[in-house]
Chain A
Amino acid sequence: EAGVAQSPRYKIIEKRQSVAFWCNPISGHATLYWYQQILGQGPKLLIQFQNNGVVDDSQLPKDRFSAERLKGVDSTLKIQPAKLEDSAVYLCASAGRADTQYFGPGTRLTVL
């Protein structure tokens, strides 16, 4: 069974630029999560989808972050414009039953 795929693995941009991350969950998993993990901290949930509907986006900075999950499968997370404090690893996870989340390799974002 293929795992959660994410791309790109690394991205370096300058502040005020835009960036987008892509995630392909495990086949059949209805729930998809985006997390932000700042160095030395635990993952912080940004947004949670159930199929293509948003379940929780309470911690998503909506003035600059947006996410969508078309057709309930792949998802993209966008930051526009990026700030220095957005430097982090962005993790995508998917879950089938009982919220056991399986994570992708993450995208390491550096904002200069």
Chain B
Amino acid sequence: AQKVTQAQTEISVVEKEDVTLDCVYETRDTTYYLFWYKQPPSGELVFLIRRNSFDEQNEISGRYSWNFQKSTSSFNFTITASQVVDSAVYFCALSEVGTGGFKTIFGAGTRLFVKA
């Protein structure tokens, strides 16, 4: 069964702190994709990163980094030196390749508050 768990409902940090958002997934497929999206207060979901199941290399993009570990079925997201503009809801998502195309499921999201 396909499942994405974001155990942290809300996180509050002070600006310049580092913060890690956890994502644990379940899938029986060997080929799948993992995503992170940001949903700022304006409401539009913004794509941050896509990772396929065969690429466990960690990725860094500016202050953002992602740690993909198949052994623990986790795809965690770290923001270094957080800023107020990082305040948003962050969603982790899993896509499996099905017969009719990709089937995607989203986690419940983690709301991040960054205080000045």
Q: Give me the interface of A with B, judged by CB distance under 8 Å.
A: 31, 33, 41-45, 48, 50, 55-56, 89, 91, 93, 95, 98-106, 108
CA distance A103 to B42 in the complex (A): 13
Q: Which of B33, B42, B104, B105 has the most CB of A within 10 A?
A: B104
CA distance A101 to B91 in the complex (A): 13
Q: Which of B42, B100, B102, B108 has the most CB of A within 10 A?
A: B102
Given contacts A43-B106, A50-B100, A56-B100, contact A99 B45 (CB under 8 A): no
In contact, A41 and B108 (Cβ under 8 angstroms)? yes
Chain B interface residue count, CB cutoff 8 Å, equals: 25
CA distance A48 to B95 in the complex (A): 13
Give the residues in chain B near A33, CB-CB below 8 Å: 104
A43-B45, A98-B50, A105-B43 known; 14 new pairs, CB 8 Å cut-off, are: A33-B104, A41-B109, A42-B91, A42-B106, A48-B101, A55-B98, A55-B100, A99-B95, A99-B102, A99-B104, A100-B47, A101-B104, A102-B47, A103-B44
Q: How far is the CB of B51 from chain A (nearest CB, A)?
A: 11
Given contacts A55-B101, A106-B44, contact A100 B35 (CB under 8 A): yes
CA distance A98 to B44 in the complex (A): 21
Interface SS majority for chain A = strand
Q: Give me the interface of B with A, judged by CB distance under 8 Å.
A: 4, 33, 35, 37, 42-47, 50, 52, 91, 95, 98, 100-109
In contact, A42 and B109 (Cβ under 8 angstroms)? yes
Given contacts A89-B43, A91-B45, A106-B43, contact A56 B103 (CB under 8 A): yes
Give the residues in chain A near B91, CB-CB below 8 Å: 42-43
- 9 tightest A-B CB contacts, nearest first: A99-B102, A42-B106, A55-B100, A103-B45, A99-B95, A55-B101, A105-B44, A42-B108, A43-B106
